[in-house]
Amino acid sequence: MRGRGGARGSRTPSAPWSRLKPVDLDPLESMGLPSKGDSRLLDFKTQERYYTKIVERYMTFCSDAGERDELLRRFASLELSSISKHDNPIAKVIPSSSSLVSNRLSIAPATIPSNTKGLSDVLSAMRKLREGIVASKRVDDFAIQVYLFCIRLSVLVRHPESYHPAILHLLRRIQPLHSMTSVEMSEVVGYLVLDTACRRNNLAEAFAVRHKYRLRDAKVDMVLDALAHDNYIEFNRLKRRVDGHKAKLLEYADEGMRKHLLKCFGRAYLSVDLDFLESCADSKWGSLTAEDGVGWELDGGKVVIRKVKAR
């Protein structure tokens, strides 16, 4: 009787299993988080190759969108899918920061529109790369380039959990050791000032940040002035004059500023022309009633705010 190591009893195949298809791994997903024990992104050359793949994927996403309006719509779709998870205790939002934490950067697959998966993959990969840069203590032009790319992209999809800690790490950890250009510094500080004023609603801190970093940006100054004076008409005009990234940050303050404007109308007018109200509020009557809770009466082309009680 043959032993278990003989030809008949051997279970070891003489050739690889031909029926198993090789796994086609996404180059962005194949890399793990350094905080989860994957140390490959601690190597500088690996970081640079990985960043090249990220940029290629982002460019593919942009070219697939085609027209500018479609590209903006896809950015907005990903933004909405991210926001919706704040209302769902089960779904996980994209976690923050350039610091090493254990949560995986991802968007629940059920919430990702199919035409924005490429962008969500890019955001996830950027998280891994930032962790690698922080863990390897890399401070050079490449680190600045990666962080600027991450900040700009995260601002466009309105994801503060990504861009806010990235801005702080860039200014507090990288900049003191390896200086950015004056243009880059002005851009990043401008984002931080507007985020502080518009999203975090802290004007005092926004002015303090502007003073600390000696920011000289006339448009940012005008936005702060409009916010300080609750001047929604000027604020709305500036939203059209700043670049697309800063305009995204201004959107955080838009609802609050418009509601303050409507309260002013409620205190100051008995009635007002509909066209004038829509122009000042930069919103149509249907949106004002459905989204802003306006309960005034529409009488033809006139909005009745308050009725004078007959004596």
Note whether residue 189 is domain-resident.
Answer: no
Q: Which of 136, 151, 174 is the last residue of a domain?
A: 136
* φ, ψ dihedrals at 108, nearest 5°: -55, 130
Cβ pair 188, 171 in contact under 8 A: yes
Q: What pLDDT is recorded for position 106?
A: 35
Q: Which two tokens stand for residue 273?
A: 């022309």
Task: Report if residue 235 sits inside a domain.
Answer: no
Count: domains in the chain? 2
Residue found by looking up tokens 């719509």 in the block: 73
The mean pLDDT value of the chain amounts to: 81
Identify the DSSP state of 19.
T
Residue type, 138: R
Residue 110 within a domain: yes
Say which amino acid occupies 8: R
Which residues form the domain of 295? 269-311
How far, in Å, CA of 210 to CA of 213, rounded?
Answer: 6
Helices 141-156 and 182-194 pack at an angle, to 10 degrees, of: 40
Give me the pLDDT at residue 94, please: 30
**pLDDT of amino acid 172:** 96
Among candidate residues 105, 136, 167, the one where a domain is terminated: 136
Question: Token pair for residue 215?
Answer: 């920011």
Task: Cite the DSSP H helix spans in 231-293.
Answer: 232-241, 244-268, 274-281, 285-290
Question: Alpha-carbon distance 72 to 245, whole Å?
Answer: 12
The two structure tokens encoding residue 14? 């003489």
Domain endpoint, select from 80, 114, 136 = 136
Per-residue tens of pLDDT for the chain, all 311 residues: 444 444 444 444 444 555 655 556 777 888 889 888 888 999 999 999 999 999 998 888 777 666 666 656 666 655 544 444 433 322 222 333 333 223 323 333 333 444 567 788 889 999 999 999 999 999 999 999 999 999 999 999 898 999 999 999 999 999 999 999 999 999 999 999 999 999 999 999 999 999 999 999 999 999 999 999 999 999 999 999 999 999 999 999 999 999 999 999 999 989 999 999 999 999 999 999 888 888 899 988 899 998 877 66
* Domain presence at residue 179: no
* pLDDT of amino acid 84: 41
Is there a domain that residue 199 lies in? no
CB 43 within 8 Å of CB 51: no
For the entire predicted model, the pTM comes to: 0.78
| Burial of 47 (C-beta count, 10 Å sphere; 0-12/13-18/19+) | buried
Specify if 185 maps to a domain.
Answer: no
- 287 lies in some domain: yes
CA dihedral 39, 35, 135, 165 (to 10 degrees): 140
Alpha-carbon span 97 to 166, nearest angstrom: 6
- Rounded Cα distance between 254 and 249, Å, is 10
Question: Distance between terminal CA atoms of the chain?
Answer: 117
